Structure 1
Amino acid sequence: MFWRILPHATACVASDSLFVLDVRQDRYFRVPAAASSEMLAWLDRNYSAVTPKAVIDTLIRARVLKEGDPEPTNVLKERVTIPAGLGRADASERGNGLPFRVAMSVASMRLSLRAFSLNHILTGIFTRGPMLPRSNVQAALAEAQAFERARRMVPIARNCLLDSLALERWLARRGLGSQLVFGITPEPFAAHCWLQTPDVILNDSFDHVSGFTPILAI
């Protein structure tokens, strides 16, 4: 479970530590132990409550909360289930032009990440809304597997954010929905992201991603 405390910021608990992801700054922030108990108590309330001054001060010091932002909220709680099922799809090869199209997709997303903020890109995904064919798991999995085979021939360094965003856009353009999940591990700190449907992980393995605590899902 994670909390969406601001339009650009989410929070989760991992190994008894409280973390905040601020996509506006493209930054993960571990809440100091001295401030985490009051912030956790506020988050755990089952009703909307006035944000404690200590929480406001913590978010301001971390530059998560700035002048003009709405008041943080503790009521927007979201649950993420990491599917453990193993997907199977048609492994037949696609047309010869697929590696070129995948290369263009990855290169285009790399340019987008350089030209636009992460917040801008994720807002575009979020405001697009759910796609009706999201339940078509086999079609999404087949496209993801074909994308991965072609991706191996693309001479651009791999990166979980780049590849997940490129695949998400690839699927969306084919009318296939997916969920983009960001997760963290606290000690040593590491961040990761991947794509999944309610039934299957599209571009990673359960053994790998199950070690991460979700902090954002779109």
Structure 2
Amino acid sequence: MRTSSSQATITAWWASHIHAARCAGDLVLLDTRSDAYLHVPDPEHRLELVDLQGVRAPAAYIEQLAVAGLLTSEPFRGRRPLPDAPRRSQQGKLTIAALRDAVRLIATLKDVGDVSLGSCLAKRALRPRPDQAPSPDAAVAVFALALPFIKGQGACLWRCAVLDDVIDRAGGYADWVFGVRLWPFSAHCWLQIGDAVLDDDPDRISLYSPILAI
């Protein structure tokens, strides 16, 4: 029996603004241009992710993804590898200096405006990743002390932006990781260095499939 052209399996590449993750058997796509997520059901497991770059699927599926503007002709090589799941929480060291810096941070929180995925991506694009960075202990301690006074502490994007700014001022750098889950759908983000998460709990993060790191 011959395979029709619509059933032939081919590989296509995600557009630079599209990121994908396998989640609960299906695919979830993140469009960073519109800051929107898309659930792509895959009950027959016809869609196979190719690293972070693309997808392998029957031609009929690829055609639908292309019509939706999700694909490009060449793989985008600018994607940062997704880190392994964190196994521990980073504990900051409480010092007099941390207390002083926390008071200063609290005083400047009112100057932190609205935070969007687009603004975070733009900021990271202008910020080089250092070859060596200092320990985040001091920055994490300052953030932990200031956290009860952070008005947006329930919003992970805003919370990460504040901690990232503290780390940046100290000359450090952390991976900013975005994750998704289904049933019910939820998106989350956190800061991570190696196997340590800086602003969350590893058990909660284990519920999410990483989809983007910046």
Tell me, yes or no, whether TM beats 0.5: yes
Tell whether 2:122 aligns with 1:130. Answer: no
Secondary structure of the corresponding residue to residue 177 of structure 1: coil
Given that 1:132 and 1:177 are in contact with CA atoms closer than 8 Å, whether structure 2 keeps it comes out as no
RMSD: 3.4
Task: Letter of the 1:57 partner, please give it.
Answer: Q
Q: TM-score, normalised by structure 2?
A: 0.75
- Deviation per residue, 1:61-97 (Å, 9 max, x gap): 3x656xxxx5363886834212213434422243446
The equivalent residue for 1:44 is 50
Query: 1:60 and 1:25 mapped to 2: Cα distance?
Result: 17
2:183 is aligned with 1:187: yes
Deviations 1:45-74 (A, max 9, x none): 89989995743532543x656xxxx53638
SS at match of 2:113: helix
Which protein is bigger by CA-based radius of gyration?
2
Following superposition, the deviation at residue 26 of structure 1 comes to: 0.7
Considering fraction of residues, name the structure with more helix. 1
Aligned to 1:19: 28
Gaps of 5+ in 2: 1-12
The whole-number CA distance in structure 1 between the counterparts of 2:105 and 2:53 is 48
Contact 1:133 1:175 in 2 (8 A): no
Q: How far apart are the structure 1 equivalents of 2:44 and 2:179?
A: 22
2:173 partner letter? G
Sequence identity percentage: 24
Q: How many aligned positions are there?
A: 199
Aligned equivalents of 2:178 and 2:187: distance in 1?
7
Q: Secondary structure at the match of 2:164?
A: helix
Residue number among 192, 197, 208 corresponding to 2:204 in the alignment: 208
1:73-152 matches, within 5 Å, as 73=75, 78-93=81-96, 94-96=98-100, 98-104=102-108, 106-111=109-114, 113=115, 118-134=117-133, 136=134, 139-152=135-148
Whole-Å Cα distance in 2 between the matches of residues 179 and 14 of structure 1? 21
Q: Which amino acid aligns with 1:82?
A: A
Unmatched runs of 5 consecutive residues or more in structure 1 = none
Deviation at 1:131, TM superposition (A): 1.9
CA deviation string 1:18-40 (max 9, x = no partner)? 11011111111111438972xx2
Closer, same or farther: CA 16–82 of 1 in aligned 2, 3 Å: same
SS at match of 1:183: strand
Q: Which amino acid aligns with 1:58?
A: L
Tell me, in whole angstroms, the C-alpha distance in 1 between the residues paired with 2:52 and 2:158. 36
1:56-75 maps to which residues of 2 (within 5 A)?
A: 56-58=63-65, 60-61=67-68, 64=70, 70-71=72-73, 73=75
For 2:129, the aligned partner's letter is P
Distance 1:102 1:200 in 2: 25
Cα distance in 1 between the residues matched to 2:175 and 2:166? 13
**Amino acid of the structure 1 residue aligned with 2:65:** T
Which is strand-richer, 1 or 2? 2
Normalising to structure 1: TM-score of the pair?
A: 0.74
